[in-house]
Chain A
Amino acid sequence: MNGLPVPPPAHIATVLALVAGALSGIEAFALAGAAAPEARSDSTPAALEATHLPPLLTLPGEHVQLRFDAFCVGGDESVEQTDCPATGSVFLRTRNRTSTEIALNATADSRGRYLAADVPDEVSSDPSGFSYYAVLRYGDATAVLPPGGEAASYTSVPLERAVRVDLGEHSFGAARPPDERVAAASWGGGREDVGLEQGRTQTPIGASGFDVDPTGRVYVLDEAHHRVLEWPRSASHPSRVPVSVSGTIGDLSVGPDGSLYVLETSGGESGKPLVRRFDDGGRELETVVVAEQTASQIRNGPDGPIVLQQPAQQWMPIMPSGVPAGGSEQRRLGRTARPLAGGRKLTVFRTGDELRVALTNGSGVARAWRIVSGSSLAEVQLAEPLGNRVVVVMRVYEEGRDEFVALVLDDTGLVRQRSIAPNDWAETAPLGRFRLAGGSLYQLGSSSSGAFVDRFDLGVKP
């Protein structure tokens, strides 16, 4: 009736039993970004979590469907037999309209069961875009996406004047060597070595994060040795700053005042991510628990460090104006566009083998690009403004090989393109392999002998 396969009788019975349990008055948990419960047992009723891929940047005339995956958590193990029978609504708003509620319909395809709402064309085609949030329910459990609710609503904007960049099919094996190796360290336990985690028979992890300040000083997070190695510009040997981190493939960002911000991806209670702030001598100044269950990168924002968090898919401030933010404040201030200096924002949205990038200001989209690839696109490692241009680094791949591609974009389209070898023998922070500083691009790489940071000239002035 709703597009789902006809469930077996046992399936129906289990769903009814679960609903009955949820209605019996026993407390249910609402997660979706909230802290995990202290403990659960088999008899605890189900909670609800949800994920969503917001269509941040659309094209004129493109049909927009909002899709949500709901997950039932906990409860009796018989729940593992079932689809998660959540329901819900999405609340849409355009600049000139009042809020519209649309019920989410359960449906299914080869990707599994999901909840979906088709956005009316008159809403999705509004030149100012539209904002929305969703509320999902199962019994007494509720999940809200984004977790900041209406205050942090997702925004979807149509790109009416995007510059199209056709990359064609990627030529693998044509990567040029870097222009300079600015830092290098062997794997090992010595004073100037970088430590490897997990040994050599599991996935090696090492030199998990790095940053480069405007002077060209390179900072490498050597989490296995609980320290940061620093190479001043043109120095061949690093200095060492001890930092009390517990590892977990952390990312690193150096603040304008020299503070070291380390994002530990599962350092807190119940596996929650943490941000630790250290002064330039390694003294710990603050620790902030990240609001969401997953955090993938930390960067400098115009008002302090910001962290990209999932499942919200939003950048959230961790210490706005220097004050540590609690979870609810982080969620309330969450935004899908990354905030930049001067009130500008940068939005990145990959859909299939196309990447859409938009620079916005207070009056809307200032510049936008559609980057269409003839090869499969994986993750965007970096998207940063460089004067009036934008630099993007993304990974292209096919089965068995991959490379990074750096693009410099301006109003006319593609200014520069450069292929870069992956150099990813050891695992690092997932989206922490590149930095842009002083007009140069830097890559954190590794081989079986050690870790290094390479500099690439982009051939344009900042």
Chain B
Amino acid sequence: MTVSRATIAVFAVTFCLAAAGTAGAYHTRFVADNCNYNDPSPTSFITRDGSATVALRARYEGYQWAGGCWNDNDRDDSPGDPTEDPNTGGEGPDCSGFTFKVWRESLSEGSSAFDQWNMLRFVHGPYTAARFRRGDGAPNTTISKSAAVRMDAFASDSHIGLVYAQNVDGSDQIIEAKGEAYGVNIWTRTYRGSSSYGAVRRVGWSS
């Protein structure tokens, strides 16, 4: 628990510094009123089906830069937050926080254990999209883009999204936290072929 809070604090400070000068007076109380800091539930395995279920629960919810807490009412409870401001207290994950939670990762970068985070648990995790792309951390590894399948990810230096399904024309359906104006949803994307993106896999799927 001490480690968790410390990591969160460091992460929050990092984002606060990055966003210095951009934070406005706009704040919502979604996180304050709804979210918790409970310990995750350790599990002994992870399945692609199970992770898809975690991801689908977040669909239609909001987007919060550096966020990681959402409910399941199929709407953004804090629409119109200023972008790139981690202090607005709004609903939803950002792209890397979404991936961290769907992949049940640990706050400890050296651990590839499976931690199940409740959707109302506010947690982002230590990885940015760029770090996921590099395969940083024990749970993450880069793979060939042509090998990416359901619940693997395509990551660039500024964004990451998870493969939900492939399309007959060679594009992919991606489930992702796209941005404040978009929230979390499934869209057709062409990340697989784009040179801006690489493929990343969570290690340890049991099925």
Given A79-B50, A202-B84, 14 additional A-B pairs, CB 8 A: A40-B72, A41-B72, A41-B73, A49-B56, A53-B165, A72-B49, A110-B149, A110-B205, A111-B149, A355-B170, A397-B194, A401-B195, A402-B193, A424-B194
Evaluate whether A294 and B56 lie within 8 angstroms (CB atoms) in the complex, with A36-B74, A83-B49 already known. no
In the complex the two chains form, is A74's CB within 8 Å of B159's CB?
A: no
Which residues from chain A contact B36 at a C-beta distance below 8 Å?
A: none
User: A residues within 8 Å of B by Cβ?
Assistant: 4-5, 8, 11, 36-42, 49, 51, 53-54, 56, 69-74, 77, 79-84, 108, 110-113, 197-199, 201-203, 246-249, 265-266, 270-271, 293-296, 310-311, 313, 336, 348-350, 355, 376-380, 394-397, 399-402, 422, 424, 430-431
Evaluate whether A38 and B165 lie within 8 angstroms (CB atoms) in the complex, with A82-B47, A83-B47, A201-B84 already known. no
Kindly name the residue among A38, A41, A79, A310 whose own CB sees the greatest number of chain B CB atoms within 10 A: A310
In the complex the two chains form, is A199's CB within 8 Å of B188's CB?
A: no
Does B167 lie at the interface of the complex (its beta carbon under 8 Å from any beta carbon of A)? yes
Assembly CA distance A199 to B82 (angstroms): 12
Mark each residue of chain B from 62 to 92: 1 if its CB lies under 8 Å from any CB of chain A, else 0: 0000000000111100000001100000000
Does B169 lie at the interface of the complex (its beta carbon under 8 Å from any beta carbon of A)? yes
Evaluate whether A348 and B187 lie within 8 angstroms (CB atoms) in the complex, with A81-B116, A111-B149 already known. no
Kindly name the residue among A77, A110, A293 whose own CB sees the greatest number of chain B CB atoms within 10 A: A77
> Whole-angstrom distance from the CB of A306 to the nearest CB of chain B?
14
Q: Which of A37, A197, A380 contacts B169 (CB 8 A)?
A: A380
Does B60 lie at the interface of the complex (its beta carbon under 8 Å from any beta carbon of A)? yes
In the complex the two chains form, is A79's CB within 8 Å of B190's CB?
A: no
Does B123 lie at the interface of the complex (its beta carbon under 8 Å from any beta carbon of A)? no
Assembly CA distance A203 to B191 (angstroms): 12
Which residues from chain B contact A336 at a C-beta distance below 8 Å?
A: 168
Some 15 contacts from A to B, beta carbons below 8 A apart, are: A36-B60, A53-B167, A71-B52, A72-B49, A74-B57, A111-B149, A112-B48, A197-B181, A199-B84, A248-B181, A294-B173, A310-B188, A378-B190, A379-B169, A397-B192
Kindly name the residue among A70, A202, A394, A397 whose own CB sees the greatest number of chain B CB atoms within 10 A: A202
> Whole-angstrom distance from the CB of A329 to the nearest CB of chain B?
22
Assembly CA distance A402 to B145 (angstroms): 12
Q: Which of A56, A82, A111 contacts B168 (CB 8 A)?
A: A56
In the complex the two chains form, is A310's CB within 8 Å of B173's CB?
A: yes
User: B residues within 8 Å of A by Cβ?
Assistant: 43-45, 47-54, 56-57, 59-60, 72-75, 83-84, 116, 118-119, 144-146, 149-151, 156, 158-159, 164-171, 173, 179, 181-183, 185-190, 192-196, 198, 205-207
Assembly CA distance A211 to B33 (angstroms): 46
Q: Which of B150, B151, B190 contacts A430 (CB 8 A)?
A: B190
Closest residue of chain B to A3, judged by CB? B207
> Whole-angstrom distance from the CB of A41 to the nearest CB of chain B?
7
In the complex the two chains form, is B165's CB within 8 Å of A394's CB?
A: no
Q: Which of B150, B164, B171, B179 contacts A379 (CB 8 A)?
A: B171
Assembly CA distance A377 to B206 (angstroms): 29
> Whole-angstrom distance from the CB of A30 to the nearest CB of chain B?
15
In the complex the two chains form, is B49's CB within 8 Å of A348's CB?
A: no
Chain B binding site: helix, strand, loop or mixed by DSSP? Answer: loop
In the complex the two chains form, is B195's CB within 8 Å of A422's CB?
A: yes
In the complex the two chains form, is B168's CB within 8 Å of A313's CB?
A: yes
Which residues from chain B contact A400 at a C-beta distance below 8 Å?
A: 195
Q: Which of A38, A51, A201 contacts B164 (CB 8 A)?
A: A51
Closest residue of chain B to A336, judged by CB? B168
Q: Which of B44, B47, B173 contacts A311 (CB 8 A)?
A: B173
Assembly CA distance A176 to B60 (angstroms): 42
Which residues from chain A contact B118 at a C-beta distance below 8 Å?
A: 77
> Whole-angstrom distance from the CB of A104 to the nearest CB of chain B?
15
Which 9 pairs from chain A and chain B are nearest by CB? A378-B193, A112-B48, A296-B188, A51-B165, A350-B170, A395-B193, A379-B171, A379-B170, A397-B193
> Whole-angstrom distance from the CB of B66 to the nearest CB of chain A?
12
In the complex the two chains form, is A83's CB within 8 Å of B207's CB?
A: yes
> Whole-angstrom distance from the CB of B167 to the nearest CB of chain A?
6
Evaluate whether A397 and B56 lie within 8 angstroms (CB atoms) in the complex, with A54-B168, A294-B187 already known. no
Q: Which of A41, A294, A402 contacts B186 (CB 8 A)?
A: A294
Q: Which of B47, B53, B173, B179 contacts A73 (CB 8 A)?
A: B53
Q: Which of B144, B167, B205 contacts A313 (CB 8 A)?
A: B167
Closest residue of chain B to A350, judged by CB? B170
> Whole-angstrom distance from the CB of B94 to the nearest CB of chain A?
9
Assembly CA distance A70 to B164 (angstroms): 11
Evaluate whether A349 and B168 lie within 8 angstroms (CB atoms) in the complex, with A108-B207, A203-B156, A294-B188 already known. yes
Assembly CA distance A122 to B40 (angstroms): 53
Evaluate whether A111 and B150 lie within 8 angstroms (CB atoms) in the complex, with A249-B187, A380-B170 already known. yes
Assembly CA distance A399 to B142 (angstroms): 11
> Whole-angstrom distance from the CB of A80 to the nearest CB of chain B?
5
Evaluate whether A201 and B158 lie within 8 angstroms (CB atoms) in the complex, with A247-B181, A266-B185 already known. yes
Q: Which of B48, B49, B74, B83 contacts A40 (CB 8 A)?
A: B74
In the complex the two chains form, is A71's CB within 8 Å of B205's CB?
A: no
Evaluate whether A198 and B74 lie within 8 angstroms (CB atoms) in the complex, with A4-B207, A77-B118 already known. no
Which residues from chain B contact A5 at a C-beta distance below 8 Å?
A: 206-207
Evaluate whether A379 and B165 lie within 8 angstroms (CB atoms) in the complex, with A80-B54, A203-B156 already known. no
Evaluate whether A111 and B48 lie within 8 angstroms (CB atoms) in the complex, with A53-B165, A348-B168 already known. yes
Closest residue of chain A to B173, judged by CB? A310
In the complex the two chains form, is B150's CB within 8 Å of A112's CB?
A: yes
Which residues from chain B contact A379 at a C-beta distance below 8 Å?
A: 167, 169-171, 190, 192-193
Which residues from chain B contact A378 at a C-beta distance below 8 Å?
A: 170-171, 190, 192-194
Closest residue of chain A to B61, judged by CB? A271
In the complex the two chains form, is B165's CB within 8 Å of A198's CB?
A: no
